[in-house]
Every structure is written in C-alpha cells, then in structure tokens.
Structure 1
C-alpha cells in the first residue's frame, strides 16, 4: 500500500529523536500541535482528496491531492486570520470546493460568532464568497453565513442548496432595501455565484433538511418570545414528496404509545421516512417515521444501558446507513448490509485500529475515505475501493506522532461515596508498574458530554510525562440516559463534583496514585470541576489546573443575557442556594492547592472574565495562582504554538506543585 507523507512542516516544533530522550519542550510540541488532518473530503470521482491541515501557529492550509498523479500534496490556500478558522471544505464539483470559515467578531463588549461560505477551484483560483454580503443598512449583524444542505441539485453540475440568513435593512434613502427576515434556502451555482430562492425565509427557522434528491423535506422552527429570546420550544414541519406545502409533524405513535419529544434529523427520500431521536425507557433511541401523515413510527435502534449516540450518514447525499452507541467503546450498527459486511472485513484487516469511521465517499459510493484509530493510534486515513477491494493508506491524522509509543487506555469503573459505580478511562504511562505514580484526574467538559475510549491528546501528553490519568464520566455526563444525566452538572453540581473527587480517592485506594502527588486538570466544565473540587475537599489535590473554566454560575447566566439562548441557560442553571454554593469564585478562601488558569480572550463559550475574576480573588485571598491569557483565541485555543506553550507551562506547574 502507498503512503502519502503529510506535507506540513513542524518547523521549530519538530523533533526526530526517540521519545525516551525528549525534553518537555519536544514532547509538548508533538502533542500541542493540532492534528495534521483537521477535515477531509473525497471528490465526486474518488480520484482527488482535499484536506485542511494546521499551518504555523493559528493558521490553516487547504491541501489537494490528486491520487492519479503520484499523490503529490499541493497547498492551494492559506488562512492566517486569527479570529477566523477554516474548518470545513467539501467538493461541490470535480474541480470546485465549498469551504466554511468560522470566526468570532465583537460588537462592543458582546462576542458574536459568525460563519462565511466560499467556493474555490482546486488549484486555488477563482475564490468566490457564497454568503450574502454585509450591508451598512442591515438592522443587525448577519452571523449565519449558510450551510450546504444538498449537492448536485437536479443533476446540475455545480448547483447546491444552501441556507441563507435574511436580515432586514433600513428603508431610508432607498427603495431596494430588504424587508425579509429569518432563515431561508437558496439554490446557488458555485461556478458563478448566481442564486435563486428555493425556500422563503422564516424568522423562526433554525435549520432545513433535504433528501437525497435535493428536495427540502424538513424544517425545524425554534419558538421565541416577543423579545426574540428562545423559549426552548421546537416545532417540526415536513413535506410530502413533490409537494410545496408544509405540514406540522403531529404526535408520533410507536408500538401503540405516543412519543413525547420526537426530534427528526434526517430524511431518506426514496423510502420517504424521517429518522430522529426519542427517549424510550430513559435512553435516547433512534426512530423511523414515514412522511405520509400516518405518524406511526418504529424503533430501529435502542439500548437499555446507554443512549443511541448519532446517525451515520455517508456520501454527497448524506445517506443514512447506521447509528452509534458507546458502552466501554464505540460501536457502529449498520443498517446497510454491504457496509456491515465491509465493517467486519475492516475489523479483520485493521485489528489494532478498531475505531473505523467513513468520513467521505465518491458520488457513486464506490470509493470510501475511512479513518481508523485506537487508544494508542491517533488515526490513519485510508481509501477503500469497492471495485478492487483494495485498502490504500493515505495520511496520518497526526503525522508527528507516527511511530511514537503511546499509553494504553483501559475502561474501568470505581465506586462513588454512595456506592454507585462510575465509569471512566484509566491511562497509565507506558512501561510503568501502575503503582504510586504522580496522578491526574481529568474530568471532561460539557457537562452534557462524555469521555470515550480512543486517542486523547491531553491524556496522552500527561502519560508521556509519567502521570497516571483517570477520566471519569461523572453523573451529569451525557450518553448514559436520563437518570445518569440527572439535573445536569450545574443544578446537581454536588453529585458531579463528588464523583470527580471520588475518582481521585479511588486512585489513591488502589495504590495507583501517590497521595502526595495528586492533581486535577480540566477544560471548560472540567475546569469548573477542578476548581470546585477545592471547595468540596481542599486537601485532596495538591495542584489544580483549569483551562477556560466556569468560575461563577451567576456569571454564566448573565453572560447569556445578550444572546437568544438566555432563557435556556436560565432554565439549565435554575435558582437557589446551589448557585452561590456551586461557584468556586465565591469560595476562594477555601483553596489550599496552587492554581494555574488559562483562557482565550475571545471565548464565547465561557467569557474570559471567569478566569480574570478567579485569579484576582485567589490573589486577594493570599492563595497561589498563575494566569495566562491568550489574545484573539477562542474556547478551544486552536493555536499550535499556544497549546505547546500551555503544555510546557502546565508541566512545570505540576512538577513544582507536586515535587515531581
């Protein structure tokens, strides 16, 4: 099999020495640089690949590979805008790509996320903005630059369906001002940018879903009050094949029982059914409903121990072929018999890379792009040809970690203080005996998320530096059903943080952790958990690292006031004594362990004031705290240089704090 070597220079970050001889700077460089393949797409013919890779520091580059010409990599465009990321590119035609830019703007003190769409030839020429241009007459800032919901409309080469946000304009001094408002759909020619209206705008529309034939079949409306603030109510509408009128999706009956909150997300046009989610017996299940007005559905995928996670859709028409669930490891259940057989064959061909995902396909699905990975392998991109039954190795997802020995990840469970078994993942340093180690508890963000078995760059960095790492899926995590999610990790913060602290206690009781060298590290809600653990048990951890953390629940509520999701955030947090009790900012005097804080200045998920205020309160209380802030960066700190510097700083902080 042929291997294409990724043409992204690590520059000063790159090292070519055995891992055992690496300095912390060299190890941090390997794990801190963003992954080599950030997004990838296969052309309609299956003969070309386009992928986004990291450039220097915060930048991204778009590369094209012609598989017929020796696999040479050509960089066709570079994005160096710090406040905007190139995060998705797909082939619209055999020679033209459609790409999305995601950025964060600012209006006064309010951060405004926005997207913009552009088309570009595969040689980098003829760049064309597809999103509606901003006008000085607009009554508000257009944030949504559109999403492609269908390719190859009516067989026309280069015609796509893309959502469009209409913004009303001032009428003073002109008769040409736009008076429409809301989300609609346009049919756009990506070759010249010409467009025509496919769906008139709806002020409450959140998204539209098209079928394989390019017909818009679903419309999702989010209701709002007279201030434009979302109420949390969602209405689903559908069309019958070939019809233009919208119908309200009524009560769905499955096995003689009405569903409470069916959420359709995809349409199979040829079969005339919608796929969606519903909670059954406390767990999210996948339901199929005919779009014929009968409103009688059937369960096609359900579990009695975990939620059904996501649909698997492939190809340019986003054909539904399966679903996923996560027990200890991710499992894909294919509805398509051919893909089910292929999945089993790939499992035999790649026994050391059991996590296999189809990420793109040719127009006829005869060629598939796959990414196969494991806990100790960040992933490899393969091209599978159904005709020849050949599997060709193309790209390493993290080229700079190729041939590096990574630490094995083991699913475990540990008892919480009330006896509940808490699932999690334990990573031990390669070559260690797993006893009396410097240890890190690493709670995930969200809190409506979960950790999964596989490669994790933070956990692997710490393991490479000699730490044992435990990632607990505390109560309040998603994926384990309604009862496990409970009242969420904010209202029921005491349960979630109790589980996180019990993770550390278990590591000590098992003899894995040296009780005097135990730290906690977290990002986002994980950072909140790290800080709040000090409020609950200030003697447990000897060091606390919080990246982009929530520090005050009332801050979190007020941060949402300028946005349409304020009511949703307000309901999530609730009111009562848990707001102050669950805010580490209000309890700085409780801290005993030194704290290191890191935050991006343009973080729209968790405002930077959370870390600024926490650092000030800890200093005022005479506590040990360090704080690093990064101008222009968002919640994920998507900058290879910054991530590398942060890892070096965290390693030094932990070494000083734990006496390692």
Structure 2
C-alpha cells in the first residue's frame, strides 16, 4: 500500500492562483517540538501568491489512504478511499454517491481526471503484471466503461483550470498526439508538420491554447524547446538542452527491431556516429531503465 501525496492541480479562484498538494501534517501541540503524527496524506490548498496553505481535505482514517479530484471551482468533487487491511476501494462524490467499488489487495488504484466534458470520472487500475486499465463512470452514477481500450497511452493531457481530460499521446512506433478539441488538434497538426523529421512533444500550453511549449529532438537536434504562438504561427526557440553539441554533431537516429537469444522480440533506438560508415562500429549499449511514472 502507498500513501498518496503529490500535486492535484492548479485552479484560479476569485482571481487568485491556488495549488493543491498532498502532504503530511505534523502534530504541533508542542510548538517547541513538532512531531510526526501519522503518514496519511492531508490535502492542502496553497495560495501561490502568499504561500499560505489551508486544509482542503482531511486525511483518511487509520489504515486507509485517499486520492482526490478537484473541480474547476477548487472544491473536492470526487474521493477515492482504499482500505489497507483488505484492499476494498470506493470512489464517491462529495455528496456521498458511490460511483465505483472493488477490491485490490495491492492498492494500485488511482483517480486520473474528469472526463472530457467534466461530467464523468476516469480512474486507473493496475494488475499484478503491471498492466494498467482505465475506466470512466458518469458523475451521476452508472456502470463504469473501459476507457481507451487497446490504445497504448504514454501521457494524458489535462486542463489545469478544470481538471478535465483534453487529449492524450500514444506509445505507438509513430506516436500520435490526439486532442479532443478540433481547433487544438488542427493547430497541433500544423505545428508538428512544421517540424517534420523530428520527434515533437507537446509539453504545456496557456489557457485557451494561445501558446504551446514544445520539445523537439532527432536527427540534427539534441533537444530543443520552443514556444509557439498558435495564432501567429510563429515558433521561437527558448532553450537548447545541449548547447555545446552542434546539429552536425548529432548522429542519425532510427528505430531497430531485433530478436533476442531467447526468441523475445525487442525494439530499440540506434544512433550512428556522424561522418562514419555504418560498418564494423563498436557498440555502446544503454539498457532501458524501465517504465516509471
């Protein structure tokens, strides 16, 4: 089992930016010696300008842990509660309506986001083999339905002002970035086309999608960050990850598929040294570090 900490989004409330974070509260009854009371997460709302926190949700009871979704108004809208003793988990609205329930002894259940229209909840379950399945259930109740079934998703894009899902990026051989809003999808299609031949990743965006932050890499590009003005169709580089590596020093990059000695199919990325014939070269092998979140 794991206590849930981390970041729960940013919201604009009465013109002020508020960040929501999970943290461990200390027992301050003795002001001279605050002490650890328990490891269960408290949800805090932090006024970013003043750095003043307030409690947005109390910690779970003993032998439980919780996860939350914050709506556009800054209120806790949905709570996931997991019992550490038997793995029973429930997802409920703030009004007490139970949306989903199950048993997972390892506690690998978490809330992801609100659905595209903000009228549903998306949650994730990971099995013992590490396979993740996502489900969507209406906020008004109903039968959960599997979400993005058979789509290998690398990242979800969530609107930080509402907590609603707005798109995703796939883990296919040629990754796709899929946005729910047709205007956003059209803008990204044009932008990505302008960087043809390079891998382009959407990193962040301003409200209304007026500007987007991208990272590019690939042949002749060791890692560059751009701010794109969508309306003006202008891309300005803002940072180079490796400024001392010139484009002509970046070797050709390609994907390779091969069969291991035990017959397992493996894919990898091959980078060839510039200015050398691709024959009889020494090999530097960098093993993959494994999936991480």
TM-score range, shorter chain: 0.7 to 0.9
Paired position in structure 1 for 2:148:
300
Which residue in 2 is equivalent to 1:265? Answer: 112
2:26 to 167, 179, 192: 167
The residue number in structure 2 matching 1:492 is: none
User: Structure 1's 308 and 411: CA in aligned 2 closer, same or farther, altered over 3 A?
Assistant: same
Cα offsets for 1:391-426 (capped at 9, x unmatched): 333322332324342112221122223433222222
Output one character per residue of 1:61-97: Cα deviation in whole Å (capped at 9) or x when no partner: xxxxxxxxxxxxxxxxxxxxxxxxxxxxxxxxxxxxx
Does the CA contact (< 8 Å) of 1:316 and 1:361 recur in 2? no
Q: How many residues align?
A: 282
- Matched with 1:152 is 12
Q: Which structure shows the bigger proportion of residues in strand conformation?
A: 2
Identify which of 222, 229, 235 aligns with 1:391: 235
Alignment root-mean-square deviation, CA:
3.8
- Identify unmatched segments of 5+ residues in structure 2: 103-107
Q: Which consecutive residues of structure 1, in runs of 5 or more, have no partner in the other structure?
A: 1-142, 226-230, 252-260, 450-477, 479-660
Distance 2:161 2:109 in 1: 26
User: Which residue of 263, 266, 273 maps to 1:429?
Assistant: 273
Do 1:411 and 1:426's aligned partners in 2 also have CA atoms closer than 8 Å? yes
Is 1:197 the counterpart of 2:45? The answer is no
> Alpha-carbon deviation of 1:333?
2.6
Determine whether 1:439 maps to 2:289: no
- Where in structure 2 are the equivalents of 1:36-55 lying within 5 Å? none
Residues 62-73 of structure 1: matches in 2 within 5 Å? none
SS at match of 2:54: strand
Cα gap change, 1:339 to 1:363, in 2 (>3 Å): closer
Partner of 2:105: none
Greater CA drift, 330-339 or 178-187 = 178-187
Give the C-alpha shift of residue 325 in structure 1. 2.4
When residues 324 and 234 of structure 1 are mapped into structure 2, their CA distance, relative to the original with a 3 A threshold, is farther
State the Cα distance separating 1:181 from its structure 2 match: 6.4
Distance change >3 Å, CA 341–CA 274, structure 1 → 2 = same
Which of the pair is proportionally richer in helix? 1
Do 1:150 and 1:316's aligned partners in 2 also have CA atoms closer than 8 Å? yes
Task: Give the 3 Å change call, closer, same or farther, for CA 188–354 of structure 1 in structure 2.
Answer: closer
- 8 Å CA contact 1:150, 1:161 repeated in 2: yes
Distance 1:435 1:146, change over 3 A: closer
- The 8 Å contact of residues 112 and 122 in structure 2, kept in 1 or not, is answered as yes
Equivalents in 2 of 1:246, 1:445: separation in Å? 41
1:290 aligns with 2:142: no
CA–CA distance in structure 2, aligned partners of residues 178 and 442 of structure 1: 41
In the alignment, does 2:207 pair up with 1:363?
A: yes
Aligned to 1:212: 72
Alignment partner of 1:237 is 2:91: yes
CA distance in 1, matches of 2:157, 2:174: 16
Distance 1:301 1:324 in 2: 14
Among 354, 358, 361, which residue is 2:199 paired with?
354
Pairwise CA distance, 1:294:
0.8
Q: How does 1:248-263 map to 2 (within 5 A)?
A: 249-250=100-101, 263=110
The reply to whether residue 403 of structure 1 matches residue 247 of structure 2 is: yes
Check whether the contact 1:237–1:249 (CA below 8 A) recurs between aligned residues: yes
Task: Give the match's secondary structure for 2:190.
Answer: helix
Secondary structure of 1:343 counterpart: helix
Alpha-carbon contact 1:180-1:201 (below 8 Å) kept: no
CA distance in 2, matches of 1:145, 1:422: 35
Q: TM-score, normalised by structure 2?
A: 0.77
- Kindly state the Cα deviation for residue 356 of structure 1 after the two structures are TM-superposed: 2.6
Alignment of 1:441-460 (within 5 A): 441-446=285-290, 448=291
Deviation string, structure 1 residues 89-143 (Cα, Å, up to 9, x no partner): xxxxxxxxxxxxxxxxxxxxxxxxxxxxxxxxxxxxxxxxxxxxxxxxxxxxxx9
Write the deviation string for residues 429-485 of structure 1: whole angstroms up to 9, x where unpaired: 222222222222321223x46xxxxxxxxxxxxxxxxxxxxxxxxxxxx9xxxxxxx
Whether contact under 8 Å (1:321, 1:334) holds in the other structure is: yes
Q: CA deviation at 1:247?
A: 3.4
Q: Equivalents in 1 of 2:92, 2:15: separation in Å?
A: 25
* Whole-angstrom CA distance in 2 between matches of 1:285 and 1:157: 36
TM-score (structure 1 length as normaliser): 0.37
Q: Secondary structure at the match of 2:221?
A: coil
Matches within 5 A, 1:86-235: 147=7, 149-153=9-13, 155-168=14-27, 182-203=40-61, 204-221=64-81, 223-224=83-84, 233=87, 235=89
CA distance in 2, matches of 1:393, 1:190: 28
CA shift digits 1:261-290 (9 cap, x unpaired): 87531124853212234579x964554321
